[in-house]
Structure 1
Amino acid sequence: MAEEEDFSSLPLPERFTHKNWKVRKEGYEAAAKEFDKAQDESDPTVQEFIRDAGLWKGAVADSNVAAQQEALACLCSFLQIAGHQGCTRTRGSTVGPIAEKALPSTRPAAKQKALEALMLYIELDRPDPVIEELLPSLSHKTPKVITATLSSLIAIYHAFGCKTVEPKPVLKLLPKVYGHADKNVRAEAQNLTVEFYRWLKDAMKPLFWNELKPVQQQDLEKLFEKVKEEPPPKQERLLRSQQAAAAPAGGNADAAEDQGDDEPVEIDLEPEYEAVDVMPKIPKDLQERLASAKWKDRKEALDDLLKAISQPLIKEGPFDDILRSLAKAMKDANIMVVITAANCVEAFAKGLRKSFAKYRTIVMAPMLDRLKEKKQTVTDAIGAALDAVFMTTSLSDCLSEILEFMAHKNPLVKLEATKFLIRCLKTTREAPDAGEVKSISEISTKLLADSQETQRTAGAEVLGTLWKIMGDRSMQPHLEGLDDIRKTKVKEACDAAEVKAKYKPKSAAPAPKAPTAGVKKAPPGKKPAPKKTPAPAAASAPVAEPEPQAPPPSQPRPAARAGGLPKPGQKSGLTAPSSLRPPGKPGVGGIGRGILPPSVTSPKRAEPTLSDEPTPPPPPKPSFGGAGRGLTGRPLGKPPPAAPSDATPIATPGSSSLNAADSTKLDDLTIEVERLRRANEEVRSERAKLTSQIHELQNQNAQLIEDHTRDVLSIKAKETQLVRARSDAEAAEATVQSQAREIERLKRELSRQVRASSPAPVDVSEQIYHDLGAAAVNGVGGAGVGNGGALRYDSGLGRSSRSYVRSPTGDVGKENLERPLSRTKLSPPGMEQRARKTASGGSGGSLDMLGRKSPSVLSQGSEGSGGLGAAGSRSGSQLGGEREGVESWKRAAEVTQNLKARIEMMKAKQGLTRQ
């Protein structure tokens, strides 16, 4: 018991380091009670532990789990009272041991207190030092420590959000954690990644996604699907600095959270790179190679440039000439050169980042102009380069050039420029101002009346995206002139658009407060009460003037004229209402003009002339003297100075009447302005409709002209074909005629050849003569066959010879009579006649009716030939020859018919038959 009393009497620092865990535990409990009793951080006990921060290192890492739990609870009590100083002094000694010894504790209460201590360290100062102390624990050799650290990081990011706690240091270490062998570590890493996805969505992927395995990516995508439809997360705990900033706005943390709900989370997730100087890597002869006449040389030069500047971060340098050369390359005739030049511009924009903004004017216009190229690869490369250039600037910088090319005469340029504007509106984080909205809306409305469907769709998408950014109130005036169909199309584009900017109307600056405190403002939402004009104090002139009329209740009361002086023609005997004068200060008459004291300001400087805030009716005006007295009703003494807090502008006498007139006139002018504005809007809408009709008519006219041109060209083509057909027909006709002449020539030649090779026509008498002569010869020859020789008959004169070859049977005459007689080429018909005459003995005998000679002649001829044979044999031969001559004539006729048929067959084979 004595030892226990001694332990309790020990100072707290000694009890914190005692070797007995019970003493340490009791010391932790006693210290926590002292911290709870302390009023602020200036308490001696608190200051003692602030100065000796090493005491906490052993406490949070106590070897006894029960004592450690009490030590963590004591640390939380200390941090709540020690404030910023206690946080910064002890943070370096406690965060590491907490991560290594307290977070992996088996006691849930100890783990909860350790996590609360980390939260307090973040809340009291800033989260970066705490995260830096926790990151080494992710490389610990014990999987349990890594798992506990990941769990604490999940809780920290869930409570404070990625906008308050920088996520990049943890994201860079995620691939290493995913490669751990322990499945619990990998599971906690997935949970932390899902928590990051709730805040950052797909923007976090470039930092670590490619280093994960495909299986891990697939598993994470499945987990992302579950939280993709959840509402955006909110920051649950605020830093002390955020709480202090939220106190004047709403008085509590909920007001600050509600205020920041609509603001997009802007977190810099760009990887950190070191700037690289690319100037030494760029070829020295780049300009000379780009000026080459061969496109391959120009492309190779750009390829070398692209290889040199392909760096994540480029150090600034003199790139003006290079960018001008790239802008010139946009006009190159070869599309490969244009694509490579666009890739170079994109690499420069991504590498230089914000420093590229000064080069925008050099390259943007040439790239937009080159969008007229029909090749999709060219437009894609230029579009990517334009997007990279836009990320280095703002919408206001690029809008004028984009709108200029949206009105280009080339439809392709106009369409691609419109698509570029849509991408700019979706990625910009700054909403356009009223003038820019008007310019965009006007040109987009014109696109809705275009003849091409793609142009109308692009125009509707521009208006829809702008509508999503600006809201209904800002866009309603620009959509009034649209019909229901087009407005529906724009609304559909608005619903489908995803933007990063959100227009927030700037709150109107509060009106400058007047130095007076006598005029009270009516509460908002209530109509001002009708004002009554105060009665005049006295009338100095005998002529009564009409009492001034008060302004209507719906109009605000105008302020008095500056300086308090009446205008010419006003009655100066009327005093100002008491509500516009300091208490106890009399009105200033027309004779002795009042001089405003220095503390009294002009009503025009105090309040706007047209104020929407009503003024309560003034109190009754005090009277000085009788009712009929003018100047005598004024005090002769010097008016007392007005109190600074109640200083009120002095209105001149009769100012209410003038102000009422001015108010009436101002009302009339306001009505007139509104009428003119409405008329102007109507004229503008009518003009827009007429302009759209003109555009439609122009498009129709252009279409008709194009159709007419196409028809004319078609007619000319048909005429050309007709002329060619005519010339071809004439040529074919000439060819046919020449072929016909050639055919005739071939026919004549063939006929000549046939006549030369065939026997000439023989008359009947000649044939009969031949038959008779042949019979006689055969008769004569029949007698000499027995000798076995051949008989030759020579005409003598014609030198022609006919040979009769006897057959083996000895029937020479029959064989020769059956054979058709043919005339040799060397014995013309005349020679044969002379030969026959000679053979007949040269006698003057005549032929009979059938062309046969008389028997006497034949006998004479036979005798003249040598007397071959007897007379009986000659007469038999004569009779046989007559019979055979008739048959030979018939055979000759048949032979002639056969020859004609052969000739016709030969002509048919050669294609020479007559048509």
Structure 2
Amino acid sequence: MADQEEDYSSLPLSDRFQHKIWKVRKAAYEEAAKQFEITPDEQDPAFRPFLNDPGLWKGAVADSNVAAQQDGVAALCAFLKFGGRDACTRTRGHTIGPMVEKGLASTRAATKASSLEAILLYIELDTPAPVIEDLLPALSNKQPKVVAATLAALTAIYHNYGCKTVDPKPVLKILPKVFGHADKNVRAEATNLAVEFYRWLREAMKPMFWNDLKPTQQTEMEAQFEKIKAEPAPKQERLLRSQQAAMARAPPPGSAGAEDEEEAEAESAEIDAFDLAEPQDVLSKVASDFHEQLASSKWKERKDALEALYGVLNVPRIKDGDFGEITRGLAKCMKDANIAVVTQAAQCIEVLAKGLRKSFGKYRSNVMSPIMERLKEKKASVADALGAALDQVFLATSLSECLEEILEYLKHKNPQVKEGTMKFLIRCLKTTREAPSKPEVTSIAEAAKKLLSESSEGLRSGGAEVLGTVMKIMGERAMGPHLEGLDDIRKAKIKEHFDTAEVKAKDKPKPPPAAAPPKAAPAAAPRKVVAKKPATKKPAPAPSVYAQEAQAPLAPQPTARSLAGSKLGAPKASGLATPGGGLKAPLKRALPGPGGAAPTASPRRPAAQAAPVEDDAPPPPRLGLGGRGLAGRSLAKAPAVNAPPPASSISPPPNSGLTAVERAELEELRLDKDRLLRQCDDLRQERSRLNSEVQELKNQNAQLIEDHTRDVLSIKAKETQLVRARSDCEAAEAMCGQLRREMERLKRALTREERVNSTPMIASPSRDVFSDEAGIYRDTGLYGAPQDNARTGYSSRSRLSFTSALSEEKENTGDVLASQYGRHKLSPDGTRNGRTSAASGSGGRGSPAPTSYSSRADSMNGQREGNGISNGQPVESWKRAAEVTNALKAKIEQMKARQGINRN
């Protein structure tokens, strides 16, 4: 009992923090929290032991006793709250890990709340990145309750500080992993974290992890997103210490500086996918044959190549590289005859500009003019794709970079191009965050006023909208001079668009420069400009103080300002009393003054505005001797005067530093400057017009060169086709000749074969039934009995056969009438050539005729001689003729069989 009643309060707090008794530790935690709360500042000695030994807090937040742990985490919160940034940076690495495992996952609500508050304080005192880095490893913990508690802490962090203060990219990368966790509580906390991200980022968060979710999870998430879409944009509920200090230094609400800061804060609050995504290298993924396919003659191959490129470039953020060749190829596609190719190329330009942002600026000149030239396309889908590409090109650059080409195409001869350019200019004016400069406003206003006189209603209305939008940016007062000369109807139309226009840029008027003290050197510079003007010489000028200061004297001519009726020439009530008794006399004397005198006041400044003379000063000198007027300055360079003029002859300079005459000269110089500026603007516009004409001529020249090249290639192709056709024709003619010769040869061979087969078996050249083979058939039974032929005589066919037989005999043997001189074809001893042998059925040349055939022929000849055949009529009986015919038929069949002739 004595040990339990022992007093440990005398021990130092650092020792009691590590005591083995939990009650002692608990009491130490409570005492430390009370000490921290009563400290006057961050330099109090109460913080020193814990700053020197930050490991004490590791044991406090992970105390084995849950009651002591609760007080230990509460003491850490007090230490951080009152200890400042040093307390945060020195203890953060020792406490966040144990506090996540044992504090956030504790069963006690007070411990969990204190642990979360400590984590939020760590972020508030310094930066959130180290805290997030220490929290992310806990998402891989084996205990689901630790993972769920960590996700809940991350949700609270982003809810209090927002995604602009705390970078969401590290958490978004690992979010798909926790969505696939087996524990339902982890998945529920992951859903809550994703919903919190959606409150801040909206659709910009989806490219980071959306595709890695399952379809059912995507459906559930969409249902959760629908519930918060109508909520207003969230605001940061808890500020960092650095932000609190900045707000303390901020100007009071309602001032101009406060408005600027609010606008800057509103702009910085917008987060898109580009800021969240990591740059991706897409150049290595482009097909190696992309440019070959893009130059293909088939539109389908070109479109497929562009579709593949679109899939590669369609990423949230693209790593910078050399895209010059790709952009030039896409710009060339703008001239493609197929609108599908044009549309796909415009979409590729859009995603490339969206992925590169500011890095795309160097490729703007490659694609912008071709896209705007293609705005002549009337199809809505193509026009929309071209407009979207132009919008992304503008967002990647600025209005100043794009304005020159926009103004050039507002003068295009094609109304469709002019209207598309006008709509693009209106979108640029509404989305730009930088107000155009005054020269740019002048150029835009001049181009818009020209649109007001167009014949098309759309162009006229667009010109009024352009002027109204510019007026919304610059203000009504700044646009007033540009609207001079317009009728009331057009001004009313411009005012309507001014009332309805929504712009993001506002012209911020610059504060007027501080008045500089009067100096002699700056006053001399404008006088040199005036010195270039022709001026009337004044006789006998005398050097004056102004001539010595300016070193560029000039005697200006009298103007309206120097006359009595002008504002500058009006006499004052307290005017100078000159000896002349008025203003007219000195003025008359000054103008035609003698050669040796100079007037007191210059013609540009009347005597009434001369410097007043003090009351005690001596009377002024005579006129023309010691005046200070500008008319007294010499046209030549005044000699240097060493001694200053007497004080009595010079009045003290006015307080403003400029006299009335100098102010008048300054006004004239300003008018001259305005005139020169207008001339410069006119020359600049003329230059722009000439540049546009030159560019148009270049485009026409390039088109003509391209057409010429295409025509030359077409002609060469036609010539090649003609040469090939001629070669084919010659080959065909040669083939025809060869086939014709072959046909003639085959005809001759066929004729020879027919003649060989039809050689007549006759014994004498006299008319006989054996004149030829056809005659044999005809006389021996095919066409009737031989007696019929004997009565009727030979037919014309028999005579033709005999004649052909004689001609063939003449051709083959050269002796047509050989048979008439005692040699018969059928005689056994007759000499036969190849054809007679073949016709007679012999086996070779010179072989004798068969015995039966010869005996039959001799018997027939003998009978003819014995019976006294007369007039070619046969005397043998029909039986003998039939036998001879049958024998000849058999021989003919044998010859056909040997020669391979098929029977028909």
Q: Normalising TM by the smaller chain, what interval?
A: 0.5 to 0.7
Does the aligned pair in 2 maintain the 1:465–1:497 contact within 8 Å? yes
AA aligned opposite 2:78: S
Does the aligned pair in 2 maintain the 1:32–1:78 contact within 8 Å? yes
Distance 1:459 1:240, change over 3 A: same
Residue 663 of structure 1 and its aligned partner are, at CA, apart by 3.9
Is the counterpart of residue 407 in structure 1 residue 404 in structure 2?
Answer: no
Does the aligned pair in 1 maintain the 2:327–2:363 contact within 8 Å? yes
Residue 176 of structure 1 and its aligned partner are, at CA, apart by 5.3
Report what 1:122 is aligned to: 123
Is the counterpart of residue 371 in structure 1 residue 368 in structure 2?
Answer: no
Q: 2:220 aligns with which of 216, 238, 244?
A: 216
- TM-score by length of structure 1 reads 0.52
Does the aligned pair in 2 maintain the 1:75–1:117 contact within 8 Å? yes
Q: Give a deviation string over 1:67-121, Cα, whole Å, max 9, x none.
A: 2332223212322444333212211222233334334556555444333322321
Report what 1:283 is aligned to: 288
Q: Give a deviation string over 1:386-411, Cα, whole Å, max 9, x none.
A: 23333332222112112221222211
SS in 2 for 1:53: coil
Q: 1:656 aligns with which of 650, 653, 657?
A: 653
The 5 A counterparts of 1:904-915 are: none
Separation in 2, partners of 1:473, 1:140: 65
Is the counterpart of residue 360 in structure 1 residue 364 in structure 2?
Answer: yes
Separation in 2, partners of 1:51, 1:255: 47
Does the aligned pair in 2 maintain the 1:548–1:657 contact within 8 Å? no
Report what 1:28 is aligned to: 29
AA aligned opposite 2:91: T
Residue 131 of structure 1 and its aligned partner are, at CA, apart by 2.2
Does the aligned pair in 1 maintain the 2:252–2:258 contact within 8 Å? no
AA aligned opposite 1:401: E
Separation in 2, partners of 1:497, 1:8: 73
Residue 244 of structure 1 and its aligned partner are, at CA, apart by 4.1
The CA RMSD measured in Å over matched residues stands at 4.9
The 5 A counterparts of 1:834-913 are: none
Does the aligned pair in 2 maintain the 1:246–1:256 contact within 8 Å? no
Distance 1:253 1:390, change over 3 A: closer
Q: 2:423 aligns with which of 419, 422, 431?
A: 419
Separation in 2, partners of 1:386, 1:156: 40
Report what 1:78 is aligned to: 79
Is the counterpart of residue 133 in structure 1 residue 134 in structure 2?
Answer: yes
Distance 1:318 1:261, change over 3 A: closer
SS in 2 for 1:431: coil
AA aligned opposite 1:9: S
Is the counterpart of residue 19 in structure 1 residue 24 in structure 2?
Answer: no
Separation in 1, partners of 2:235, 2:484: 38
Q: 2:401 aligns with which of 370, 394, 397?
A: 397
Distance 1:353 1:113, change over 3 A: same
AA aligned opposite 1:76: C
Does the aligned pair in 2 maintain the 1:283–1:304 contact within 8 Å? no
Separation in 2, partners of 1:96, 1:488: 68
The 5 A counterparts of 1:96-111 are: 96-105=97-106, 109-111=110-112
- TM-score by length of structure 2 reads 0.53
SS in 1 for 2:281: coil
Q: 1:437 aligns with which of 427, 437, 441?
A: 441
Is the counterpart of residue 331 in structure 1 residue 346 in structure 2?
Answer: no
AA aligned opposite 1:133: D
Residue 373 of structure 1 and its aligned partner are, at CA, apart by 1.5
Q: Give a deviation string over 1:618-673, Cα, whole Å, max 9, x none.
A: xxxxxxxxxxx999xxxxxxxxxxxxxxxxxxxx9623359687147627975997
Distance 1:461 1:17, change over 3 A: farther
Distance 1:502 1:410, change over 3 A: same
Residue 12 of structure 1 and its aligned partner are, at CA, apart by 1.9
* Paired residue total: 566
Separation in 2, partners of 1:225, 1:214: 16
The 5 A counterparts of 1:770-789 are: none
Separation in 2, partners of 1:223, 1:427: 30
Distance 1:140 1:259, change over 3 A: farther
Q: 1:273 aligns with which of 275, 278, 285?
A: 278
SS in 1 for 2:239: coil
Runs of at least 5 residues in structure 1 that lack an aligned partner in the other structure: 516-531, 536-543, 552-566, 572-589, 595-628, 632-651, 685-915
Separation in 1, partners of 2:220, 2:465: 38
Distance 1:198 1:355, change over 3 A: same
Separation in 1, partners of 2:403, 2:31: 68
Distance 1:373 1:254, change over 3 A: closer
The 5 A counterparts of 1:587-598 are: none
Separation in 1, partners of 2:227, 2:486: 45
Distance 1:417 1:86, change over 3 A: same
The 5 A counterparts of 1:234-249 are: 234-249=235-250
AA aligned opposite 2:652: S
SS in 1 for 2:79: helix
Residue 382 of structure 1 and its aligned partner are, at CA, apart by 2.5
AA aligned opposite 1:20: I
Does the aligned pair in 2 maintain the 1:290–1:301 contact within 8 Å? yes
Distance 1:669 1:513, change over 3 A: closer
SS in 2 for 1:9: coil
Report what 2:839 is aligned to: none
Q: Give a deviation string over 1:17-61, Cα, whole Å, max 9, x none.
A: 223322111111222234345555555542332232222122123
Larger Rg: 1
Distance 1:487 1:393, change over 3 A: same
Does the aligned pair in 2 maintain the 1:279–1:317 contact within 8 Å? no
Separation in 1, partners of 2:227, 2:315: 34
SS in 1 for 2:397: coil
Does the aligned pair in 2 maintain the 1:548–1:656 contact within 8 Å? no
Q: 2:389 aligns with which of 382, 385, 395?
A: 385
Distance 1:654 1:200, change over 3 A: farther
Q: Give a deviation string over 1:813-868, Cα, whole Å, max 9, x none.
A: xxxxxxxxxxxxxxxxxxxxxxxxxxxxxxxxxxxxxxxxxxxxxxxxxxxxxxxx
Separation in 2, partners of 1:333, 1:54: 75
Separation in 2, partners of 1:252, 1:445: 40
Runs of at least 5 residues in structure 2 that lack an aligned partner in the other structure: 520-572, 577-599, 602-606, 613-624, 630-640, 682-904
Give the percent of matched residue pairs that are identical in Structure 1 and Structure 2: 55
Separation in 2, partners of 1:331, 1:22: 85
Higher relative contact order (CA closer than 8 Å, sequence separation 6+): 1
Separation in 2, partners of 1:108, 1:476: 67
Residue 380 of structure 1 and its aligned partner are, at CA, apart by 2.9
AA aligned opposite 1:444: A
